[in-house]
Amino acid sequence: MPAQAPDKRHLVAPWVLLAIIVALWQAGVTVGGMPAFLLPSPSGVLSRLVVMLSDAATWPYVGSTMLEALGGCVLGAAVALPLAVLIHRSRWVNAAVSPFLGATQAIPAIAIAPLLAIWAGYGLRPIILLCALLVFFPILVAAVVGLRHVDHSIIDAARMDGAGHAALLTQIELPLALPSILGGIRNGFTLSVTGAVVGEMVIGGEGLGQLLTIQRQVNDTAGMFATIVILCALASVAYGAIYLVERRSAVIQSLAGNRT
């Protein structure tokens, strides 16, 4: 029974925090007398959100942003994971690549987006590339850390049983490093959603970033808040789904370690 307490806290605490934030927001609007075009009330944002979600024209924007974010996350992972294996296995690759990895994070997305438009044209492709660049680093770091922290006694036992490099990687190292890798993907996907919105606002597109631009042009502040709520919901759902897979893989990892 006591083991269930943390799960209850994880379910209740976010809603308590959200209620406090909304209450403070409402109090600020009421007491401060802020005009709606500067800061709409929570009820005004909720009403606008309901209207948007009931409008069929909203969902293509949502679908486009999700496609860009998912495509960027997959592309970023497809590049980051093999590179993480190379860094883990080769000291030369590690020495050559490591000094440049931090530098890649110093370039703001809003500065890279116009260059991607010049190199890759406009539309879906440069936005997916931008998302991939944003998710690349957290996935790479998480994968390298996960691979380096695999229990060496398990690897030594597998080598004594005759496991080669490929078998060690696919059957021992990657499965045991999976929780860490999924943690990187989980954090990376939220960045990918951000990259999609930034790309749409700078390069142009058909997703929620474009919708935000339209709403800004007509001073639809409540609509902008509602769109931001949708973006937060998309990122939170993906974050939670990957977190559940991550926890399950951690349990499997623990069971595998106990067997050994």
SS3 for 106? Answer: coil
Q: For residue 36, is pLDDT > 80?
A: no
Segment 238-255 shows an average pLDDT of 72
In contact, 197 and 228? CB cutoff 8 Å:
no
State the pLDDT confidence band at 2, using cuts at 50, 70 and 90: very low
Q: What DSSP state is assigned to residue 169? A: I
Q: What CATH number is attached to the domain comprising 138? A: 1.10.3720.10
Summarised one tens digit per residue, pLDDT across range 119-177 is 888 888 899 999 998 899 889 989 998 888 888 787 777 777 777 778 777 888 888 88
Give the CA-trace dihedral at 188, 194, 196, 199, to 10 degrees.
-120
Assess if residue 188 is contained within a domain: yes
Q: Which residue has the higher pLDDT, 68 or 154?
A: 68
For the chain, the domain total comes to 1
- Residue 174 is predicted with a pLDDT of 85
- Determine the pLDDT at residue 258: 54
49-58 burial by CB neighbour count: b if 16+ within 10 A, else e? Answer: beebeeeeeb
Q: Lowest mean pLDDT: which of 21-25, 88-92, 107-111?
A: 107-111
Provide the residue range defining the domain that includes 197: 59-259
pLDDT higher than 90, residue 116? no
Residues 6+ apart with CB under 8 A from 57: none
Could you write out the DSSP letters of every residue in 1-18?
-GGGHHHHHHHHHHHHHH
Residue 3 domain flag:
no
Report the alpha-carbon distance of residue 62 to residue 163 in Å, rounded: 47
| Residue where the block lists tokens 């927001």 | 25
Residue 255 inside a domain? The answer is: yes
**pTM for this prediction:** 0.81
Which pLDDT belongs to residue 253? 57
Read off the tokens for 166. 């490929």
- Looking at residue 3, its pLDDT comes to 42
Is residue 233 included in any domain, yes or no? yes
pLDDT > 90 in the chain, percent: 32
Asked if residue 79 is part of any domain, the answer here is yes
Q: Is residue 115 part of a domain?
A: yes
Q: Which residue has the tokens 């930034």?
A: 198
As a whole number, the mean pLDDT across the chain is 84
In angstroms, the CA 199 to CA 195 distance is 6
The count of C-alpha atoms lying within 13 angstroms of the C-alpha of 95, restricted to the half-sphere facing its C-beta, is: 3
Query: Alpha-carbon distance 181 to 139, whole Å?
Result: 7
Q: What is the pLDDT of residue 152?
A: 77
Task: Please give the average per-residue pLDDT across 103-116, as a whole number.
Answer: 77
What's the Cα-to-Cα distance from 7 to each of 20, 107, 239, rounded to whole Å?
21, 39, 17
In a domain, 1, yes or no: no
Report whether 231 contacts 242 (CB < 8 A): no
Task: Supply 229's token pair.
Answer: 């709520």
| Predicted pLDDT of residue 231 | 93
